[in-house]
């Protein structure tokens, strides 16, 4: 792990994998450490992946809880870009990390060459995912042997139970295949230490969707919204998000869940590499 002092002195740790043009990759969760991204299905074979741990998680330092708000995390990404000596960069945000990536694009549009929103959280853009949209995504897995238990866990989570035990039971919904590799992956990157960041990430004031949409409409960089065909983030929501950007496009990986680099690594790496050029 390498480290640098961010704008307020907080130590931010990041890992580099591979060689070539850097691709800065922001984690989801919020609050999962970069370990769960691995090498993004082998993408590190053609790009240098720069994988920071969000402040308050992993090898990064703790900070003022107010700085854990999503929009304020943008300042760490800009500090990382400066530390890396990049005039412009390619940026990827996975899941909740896509919100940080979108807000970075809104704040620093001239610093981006490409933006990848990977099975993204879309709250920053004001794209709502309703129960009516999400329920079919759950029900299409009804033939799986784990479905009944996982569905019961989803209902507990919706009632406010965010315990690790409940999370572990609904995790099968996030994978295209609930095999041994997925089961091992589902345990990576979680920590009780991240609770403070999780509590602050979505705090009041974090998002101004109207302003962010206006900024998205002016973004010159190409944007790829990458969806999994079996993900709980519906393809139509991903498509709606892509249309907010002048150079936005959507790609759907059939049979993939929330972590498409695990479900079909060659297809995933080929699609991302093609977009990034």
Mean pLDDT by groups of 10 residues along the chain of 277 residues: 97 97 97 97 97 98 98 98 98 98 98 98 94 87 96 92 91 96 96 95 98 98 97 95 98 97 98 97
Cβ–Cβ < 8 Å for 80, 52: yes
| Domains along the chain with CATH numbers | 2-131+190-276 (3.40.50.1820)
pLDDT confidence of residue 111: 98
CA distances from 55 to 52, 59, 65, 151 (A): 9, 8, 10, 33
């Amino acid at each position: 792990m390498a480290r640098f002092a961010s704008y307020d002195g907080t130590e931010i740790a990041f890992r580099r994998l591979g060689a070539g043009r850097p691709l800065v990759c922001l984690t989801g969760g919020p609050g999962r450490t970069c370990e769960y991204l691995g090498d993004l299905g082998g993408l590190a074979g053609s790009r240098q992946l720069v994988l920071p741990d969000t402040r308050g998680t992993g090898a990064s330092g703790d900070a003022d809880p107010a700085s854990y708000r999503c929009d304020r995390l943008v300042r760490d990404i800009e500090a990382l870009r400066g530390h890396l000596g990049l005039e412009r960069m390619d940026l990827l945000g996975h899941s909740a990390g896509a919100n940080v990536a979108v807000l970075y694009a809104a704040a620093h549009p001239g610093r981006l060459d490409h933006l990848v929103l990977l099975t993204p959280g879309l709250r920053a853009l004001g794209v709502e995912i309703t129960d009516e949209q999400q329920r079919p995504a759950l029900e299409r897995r009804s033939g799986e042997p784990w479905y009944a238990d996982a569905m019961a866990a989803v209902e507990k989570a919706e009632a406010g139970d965010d315990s690790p035990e409940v999370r572990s039971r609904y995790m099968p919904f996030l994978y295209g295949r609930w095999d041994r590799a997925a089961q091992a992956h589902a345990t990576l990157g979680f920590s009780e230490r991240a609770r403070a960041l999780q509590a602050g990430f979505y705090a009041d004031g974090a998002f101004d969707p109207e302003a962010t949409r206006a900024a998205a409409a002016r973004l010159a960089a190409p944007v790829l919204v990458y969806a999994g065909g079996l993900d709980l983030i519906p393809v139509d929501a991903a498509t709606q998000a892509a249309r907010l950007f002048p150079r936005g496009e959507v790609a759907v990986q059939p049979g993939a869940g929330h972590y498409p680099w695990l479900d079909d690594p060659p297809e995933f790496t080929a699609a991302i590499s093609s977009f990034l050029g």
